[in-house]
Amino acid sequence: MANGYNGTTGNGPTVYDSGSSAHQHLIEERMRERARRMREVGRNTPLEQCPALILNADYRPLSYYPLSIWPWQEAVKAIFRGTVHVISEYERVIHSPTAQMKLPSVLVLKDYISYNRKPVFTRFNLFLRDKWCCQYCGDQFKSSDLTFDHVIPRARGGRTNWENIVAACQPCNLKKGSKLPSQCHMHPIRKPHEPTLSELQECGRQFPPSFLHDSWSDFLYWDTELDLDE
């Protein structure tokens, strides 16, 4: 997946009390505000402000966090390659010597991308798994205030992998130093494990996107599973 436009890079998510209705309300407000602003996208909007939201073949975003969006060039290339369907367009038009087209705002992949693959072991995915929460004190931090902690310290033979690395804030990391969890009574809140891609996808859904065109809202805001009656 192309990284594309991602307004949140480097800042990390804002800290939310996830799960509360106040949190939900905040997200909804924020999305509505963005939708109001982005409705302004018109014929003269700079091209780089016209990214396309990319949906998997099941019409759910390919990724929530970072949100799967492609810059307009990638989006147009995909249309010409025939790998996507156009779901929605901006008013913004681009011209070639012989033709013109409206830029796409939402694209859906023709082929479903499976989430059975293993996620890559990256700094981003690790923080996403731990939801930017220090696994010792439980507080949520920006990426820049988080570090990696080897649960079993490297000096004691601990490996650098999904099962032995957790997100930790700097004070907790310092406090733990190179001691074993049992020596300092600091045990990770959740036992570290290798997540599945769909698990990471679920983690990502908890963080609201930082950019929203109103043509995207049906696929983000309303993408909540409904409870079926028994």
Smallest separation, CB 145 to Zn ion (Å): 10
Determine if 134 is a binding residue for Zn ion (CB under 5 A): yes
Count of residues of this chain found to bind Zn ion when the rule CB under 5 A is applied: 5
Determine if 26 is a binding residue for Zn ion (CB under 5 A): no
Smallest separation, CB 160 to Zn ion (Å): 20
* CA-atom Rg of the chain in angstroms: 20
* Total number of residues shown for the chain: 230
Smallest separation, CB 137 to Zn ion (Å): 3
Determine if 136 is a binding residue for Zn ion (CB under 5 A): yes
Structure tokens at 201: 């996808």
Q: Closer to Zn ion by CB, 129 or 213: give it.
A: 129
Binders of Zn ion among residues 5 to 24 (CB under 5 A) are none
* Interface stretch with Zn ion, choices 64-72, 171-179, 205-213, 215-223 (CB under 5 A): 171-179
Q: Closer to Zn ion by CB, 108 or 169: give it.
A: 169
Determine if 172 is a binding residue for Zn ion (CB under 5 A): yes
Smallest separation, CB 123 to Zn ion (Å): 17
> Which residues lie below 8 Å from residue 165, measured CB to CB, with a gap of 6+?
126, 148, 149, 150, 151, 192
19: three-class secondary structure by DSSP: coil
Smallest separation, CB 139 to Zn ion (Å): 6
The CA distances from residue 158 to 12, 21, 121, in Å, are 28, 40, 16
Determine if 212 is a binding residue for Zn ion (CB under 5 A): no
Q: How many helices (H) and strands (E) does the chain have?
A: 7, 6
Among 35, 94, 137, 197, the residue binding Zn ion under the rule CB under 5 A is 137
How many Cα atoms occupy the beta-carbon half-sphere of 144 within 13 Å?
6
Determine if 167 is a binding residue for Zn ion (CB under 5 A): no
Smallest separation, CB 138 to Zn ion (Å): 7
Element (H, E) at 167: strand 165-169
Among 54, 169, 186, 200, the residue binding Zn ion under the rule CB under 5 A is 169
Residues of this chain that interact with Zn ion (CB under 5 A) are 134, 136-137, 169, 172
